[in-house]
Structure 1
Amino acid sequence: MAGPCSTGAPAAGWKSHIVRQLRRRDRMQKALFLELVPAYNRLLEKAELLARFSEKLQPEPNDVTPSTHQGPWEEESWSNSDQVPSPATRREKWQEEKEGLRLVCGEMAYQVVEKSAALGALESELEERRRRLAALEAQVAQLREKRAQQVSLVDARRARNVAQQAAYEALRSQARLQEAALRSLQEEARNLLERLVQRKARAAAERNLRNERRERAKQTLVSQELKKAAKQTVSISESPETLGNEIREKAEMTLTVPAEPVFLESEAGEKWKRPFRSASATSLMLSRCVDVVKGLLDFKKRRGHSIGGVSEQQYQSIPVCVAARLPTWAQDVLDAHLSEVNAVCFAPNSSLLATGGADRLIHLWNVVGGRLEANQTLEGAGGSITSVNFDPSGSQVLAATYSQAAQLWKVGEAWSKETLSGHTDKVTAAKFKLTRHQAVTGSRDRTVKEWDLGRAYCSRTINVYSYCNDVVCGDHVIISGHNDQKIRFWDSRGPHCTQVIPVQGRVTSLSLSHDQLHLLSCSRDNTLKVIDLRVSNIRQVFSADGFKCGSDWTKAVFSPDRSYAVAGSWDGALYIWNVDTGKLESILQGPHCAAVNAVAWCYSGSHMVSVDQARKVVLWH
């Protein structure tokens, strides 16, 4: 920034310019007057000279001859001319000249008056300009003072900015160090988790091996017991009950202490002996074999529930709606969240509703008497909620967030129970599988992950070539919709993609019918497509004038009985198509004034809920 010397130079320049202009004007006006004043003075002198000549030329009353009063001018005139003019002629001539000079003097006097008036006006203008110049100089002084204050303020702020920048750089370096420490801790935690899982797997394998050895030893003892029981000699007269009790006692003894073969003597004497396999011994042997087989089966079942095995317990089936009711009017309208609402889902009991929004909150609502009543708020989400899903039992809520993770809540607990971290970008979808303690997530990092919720552990990662916008799960299949206009099918028991169905437009949502035979997709080409999974072909395409998909996460769903398909448009209207006829059944308008993000139809088929980007939640009946 320049100093005071550089600021004074422009001010001195315009001031000297004004002084030069004033001096130039003074010179121009003075030059005019310098020519006028000498001329006026000469005229005055001539007028005085003519007045004296006229006085001299007037004759006196006692003059007889003019020769006595001739002056030197007359002598010259007489000498130059032979004719001598008369005094009357001279008087007339001089009177004419006098009148001419008088007229010239009058004109000169008038011009002098005009020039004097102009000079006065110019002097007043000069005075006014001097006053303005003084005012401008005072204003310039004030501006210079203000400029000096501003310069000092700028210097102070610059010094403060330098200090803040230094503090910011220090904070950045500290943040980098902390991020490096966090990454190292995360890596260490990942290693510890892997070691823990490996250790648990080894412990489970060892436990299974010990159980198998114990079971083999048990089977060996039982087989020896059966062989000994088959070789026993019994008397015909002995009762079956007594024999059964004795054999049972002997069998119990053989499990602990090896016993010698038992020979039964008859009451007649020791000479008559023969081996005999009684009916009770045979039935005992068969019953024992059945018990052994049952034990083996029970052992294999117990082994499936051990740490090393995978639990395949299925949820109880959800009752399927026989006939869904077509909604016609808005029963309740609420401003549910602080910002736009992105996701909505009904619990299997149809009376509990979950909504998730960009305010990082999940609200649970009870549907009571056609109204939405606040039940609970689930907190602790690390970012905006993009997807909400209930497990088939209705006891847990799974949400996908922008914080590169999915989070799990238990209904009745306000804070998150588990965090499924492992994605490197926004998680766009999170769904429970039909198998207990398992879930699937899709992300914009081009991966689909399967999770073991019991250990909060990623059991499988599927790499895809495009962003994943939504996923659904069947019995043994995972279906994902992607940004590259394709729907991919994955076998949960195999590593590779089993099928790819191309569609027109980016896939925004997927909805699987309850019978798992039909799939509904919504895409950015403003159409809904029904895919028959039995033949893997697009069966129907729904579109309508005015329907437009409002975002990349617009959700469309089947009705519980798969009779209707519903989706929200960018203008706030809900479009409902009949799946059987393929025709547009209804258009619901009114409460929504912004793009509808998601729609949910309760399992009983009695009501429907829609959410939009203007924070509204609408219950339709």
Structure 2
Amino acid sequence: MSRSSHPRGGAAGAAAAAMAEPGGWKGHVVRQLRLRDRRQRAGFVDLLEAYNKLLEKSNLLVQAQAMDLRTGLSPWSPWEPPSPVLDPTVVLQTTKIKYQRQIAELKDLSGVLAYHIIELNTILKAKETELEVQRTRLASLQGQVSELEGQHQQLRGQMKGLGRGNSAVKLEYDALRDCYRCRECELRREVERSQELTESLVRKKAKAAEYKNYQNERFKRAKHDELFRQLKKVTNETISIDIGPEVVKPAKGKGPSQDFTKLEDCEKPGKRPFSYRLKRGNSVSSRLESSYCYVPACVVACLPSFISDIQEAHLSEVNAVKFCPSSTMLATGGTDKLIKLWNVVGGRLESVRTLEGANGSITSIEFDPMGCQILAASYNKAVQLWKIEDCKSRETLTGHTDKVTAAKFRSTRYQAVTGSRDRTVKEWDLGKGACCRTIDVCSYCNDVVCWENIIVSGHHDKKIRFWDSRGPRCTEVIPVEGKVTSLHISQDQMHLLSCSRDNTLKVIDLKMNNVRQVFSADGFKCGSDWTKAIFSPDKSYILAGSSDGTLYVWSMENGKLVTSLPGLHGASVNAVAWSSSGQHVVSVDQGKKVVLWK
């Protein structure tokens, strides 16, 4: 069968060939369609050619038969030899029978061929239907291709735009990198200059301290010599002391003996006169060496039961609270970078003064043993020392590289210990304003306590570490189940209290260095990484604040919860303080409030 016998297939092939390009997926689709056309057409070509030939032969035979009947001649067959002349009727009958037989055979063959043609038409229709489906699919795919080409062009445009943007960003990045390098060089020079200035300042402070110590020593010597001369005069006199209401009078002289009597007014009077002579080598403290203030002794601590006063003390969260040793003054510190001093008068809090100058949020407050100075740690990587009388910052201790979380005085007011989130604990000489030792730890330090030569630090890695000031290494490590948030040592220095994020408080026996008691309660939850818990002054109770604003008090004797105080705190309690007299308790929270309990 030629291309003319299949006009639709030929037209489709021509259209596909015209639409296809030399390469790509379109060419592949056209080649596949052509191959399928050839395969389907090859099975029908031979059959149709044979059918056409048979039809032509049948037409020729019919035409020859008709011609023979008109002329009266017998048909001649090229494959049969010429026969002798016979009777025309017989010949005609014979030819008729022959042709009838051939016509019957051709009819049978025609029926078979017609059946084949029907089958082939059915197949052709199915193929045409499939071809229409393929054409529809091809049209859909062409639409998708067009859409994808549009998207491709759009993406190419976006890519070009992004490329231009990236080029601009790269140029800007190169400029910023060059600027960063310049700034880094400037920073390095400034750091070196800062180090030089710091070293120069330290040297100047050391010289000033030496000069001040020299002047103090001269003043002390002069004062000592003057006092010694006065005492030398007094020792040559006899003082009569009689038991009775009358005032003690010196035997001779007035001024020196009166001064000496004042020096001896704490002694109990004897029953008979005596002579007092100061031996050489003894000395009396000068005015420069201030004595400790009076600290009220707490025989029995009073359990807090009701709210005596409540104040909105700071502009934001209150982190620290501390009573002075005499229990008459209270200090609070918050994230507003202020330290406020309060007097407790008649069950009320009266604001006294405000210490300003901190450059960061206050995290810890500590009074010195005399109650004259305040040591405060802050988020600006520094610790500041204030003098309460003039509200001035006397010293700023710098050296930590991250937030300072705790600052405590040592056994004297001239030494301090600090802990920081830079994983160090530092010892400071407050007279020189310089760090005398740095202890490197592998975890954040949240709180420190110290006594004599021992320093204890609580850490983020759920461990409590003991350090000896006379040794370089850690002497003891006590693990707990949660991050340590606070430490507090009892007044007799026999027990240590720790608060941790596992919502428990633990009492550690400092003789055995092991956990003696564990305190917990339903509803108690440690609210932050700096929540503080304390002993009562007589070590009968343990006090801590919860995240829901409730205060919990436990008994040291039996380890049971004594009471819970759901005060007016609307936020998590950060810290608590118990006065040395045992009469007042103060709690501070994250909602700016300071609550006085009685």
Question: Same fold judged by TM-score > 0.5?
Answer: yes
**Equivalent residue number for residue 419 of structure 2:** 443
- Pick from 71, 83, 101 the counterpart of residue 76 of structure 2: 71
**Equivalent residue number for residue 160 of structure 1:** 172
1:142 matched to 2:190? The reply is no
1:455-510 superposed Cα distances (whole Å, 9 cap, x missing partner): x735x846668687645577xx47632356455687xxxx789x988755497544
**Equivalent residue number for residue 343 of structure 1:** 320
1:480 matched to 2:455? The reply is yes
**CA pair 129-102 structure 1, distance change in 2 beyond 3 A:** farther
Task: List runs of 5+ in structure 2 lacking aligned partners.
Answer: 1-20, 85-90, 237-249, 264-276
1:421 matched to 2:391? The reply is no
Work out the CA distance in 1 between the residues paired with 2:357 and 2:287.
32
1:316 matched to 2:321? The reply is no
Give yes or no for contact 2:506–2:517 (8 Å, CA) kept in 1: yes
- Pick from 79, 88, 113 the counterpart of residue 104 of structure 1: 113
Give yes or no for contact 1:334–1:617 (8 Å, CA) kept in 2: yes
The one-letter code of the counterpart of 2:27 is V
| 1:375-524 to 2 correspondences below 5 Å | 380-390=357-367, 397-409=374-386, 418-421=395-398, 427-431=404-408, 438=414, 440-444=416-420, 445-452=424-431, 457-458=433-434, 461=436, 470-471=447-448, 477=452, 480-483=455-458, 485-487=464-466, 505=480, 509-513=486-490, 516=492, 519-522=495-498
The one-letter code of the counterpart of 2:106 is E
Identity %: 27
1:408 Cα offset (Å): 3.3
| 1:111-260 to 2 correspondences below 5 Å | 111-206=123-218
Secondary structure of the residue that 2:295 maps to in structure 1?
Answer: coil
The one-letter code of the counterpart of 2:456 is G
Work out the CA distance in 1 between the residues paired with 2:477 and 2:305.
32
**Equivalent residue number for residue 529 of structure 1:** 507
Work out the CA distance in 2 between the residues paired with 1:329 and 1:288.
54
1:144-195 superposed Cα distances (whole Å, 9 cap, x missing partner): 2222221111111111111111111111111111000000000001111111
**CA pair 133-49 structure 1, distance change in 2 beyond 3 A:** farther
Secondary structure of the residue that 1:446 maps to in structure 2?
Answer: strand
**Equivalent residue number for residue 64 of structure 2:** 56
**CA pair 125-302 structure 1, distance change in 2 beyond 3 A:** same
Q: Scaled by the length of structure 2, what TM-score is found?
A: 0.67
Work out the CA distance in 2 between the residues paired with 1:214 and 1:156.
83
Work out the CA distance in 2 between the residues paired with 1:478 and 1:110.
109
1:618 Cα offset (Å): 7.3
1:555-610 superposed Cα distances (whole Å, 9 cap, x missing partner): 32122454311235688775422124443323567988997653323556344415
Secondary structure of the residue that 1:381 maps to in structure 2?
Answer: coil
1:97 Cα offset (Å): 1.8
1:356 Cα offset (Å): 3.1
The one-letter code of the counterpart of 2:286 is G
- Pick from 520, 526, 548 the counterpart of residue 544 of structure 1: 520
1:335 Cα offset (Å): 11
**Equivalent residue number for residue 25 of structure 1:** 33
1:326-356 superposed Cα distances (whole Å, 9 cap, x missing partner): 44899979897767x6433346667855143
**CA pair 55-361 structure 1, distance change in 2 beyond 3 A:** farther
Give yes or no for contact 1:365–1:374 (8 Å, CA) kept in 2: yes
1:23 Cα offset (Å): 1.7
Secondary structure of the residue that 1:312 maps to in structure 2?
Answer: coil
1:297-336 superposed Cα distances (whole Å, 9 cap, x missing partner): 9xx9898345xxxx13222324748541344899979897
- Pick from 36, 46, 52 the counterpart of residue 44 of structure 2: 36
**Equivalent residue number for residue 239 of structure 1:** none
**CA pair 122-470 structure 1, distance change in 2 beyond 3 A:** closer
1:214 Cα offset (Å): 7.9
More moved, 165-174 vs 115-124: 115-124
Work out the CA distance in 2 between the residues paired with 1:391 and 1:406.
14
1:13-61 superposed Cα distances (whole Å, 9 cap, x missing partner): 9961342232232232234225534643442342233133234335988
Work out the CA distance in 2 between the residues paired with 1:429 and 1:157.
45
Give yes or no for contact 2:68–2:74 (8 Å, CA) kept in 1: no
1:428 Cα offset (Å): 3.7
Secondary structure of the residue that 1:151 maps to in structure 2?
Answer: helix
**CA pair 479-384 structure 1, distance change in 2 beyond 3 A:** farther
**CA pair 322-165 structure 1, distance change in 2 beyond 3 A:** same
Give yes or no for contact 2:308–2:347 (8 Å, CA) kept in 1: no
**CA pair 293-369 structure 1, distance change in 2 beyond 3 A:** closer
**Equivalent residue number for residue 229 of structure 1:** none
Q: Scaled by the length of structure 1, what TM-score is found?
A: 0.65
**Equivalent residue number for residue 90 of structure 1:** 99
- Pick from 577, 580, 584 the counterpart of residue 600 of structure 1: 577
The one-letter code of the counterpart of 2:418 is G
- Pick from 271, 280, 286 the counterpart of residue 304 of structure 1: 286
More moved, 155-164 vs 184-193: 155-164
Secondary structure of the residue that 2:384 maps to in structure 1?
Answer: strand
Give yes or no for contact 1:608–1:620 (8 Å, CA) kept in 2: yes
1:325 matched to 2:303? The reply is yes
The one-letter code of the counterpart of 1:72 is S
RMSD: 5.4
Give yes or no for contact 1:378–1:413 (8 Å, CA) kept in 2: no
Work out the CA distance in 2 between the residues paired with 1:385 and 1:337.
13
1:356-397 superposed Cα distances (whole Å, 9 cap, x missing partner): 34x755567899999999998755434453312345787754
Task: List runs of 5+ in structure 1 lacking aligned partners.
Answer: 1-12, 227-281
Work out the CA distance in 2 between the residues paired with 1:441 and 1:72.
136
**Equivalent residue number for residue 244 of structure 1:** none
The one-letter code of the counterpart of 2:168 is A
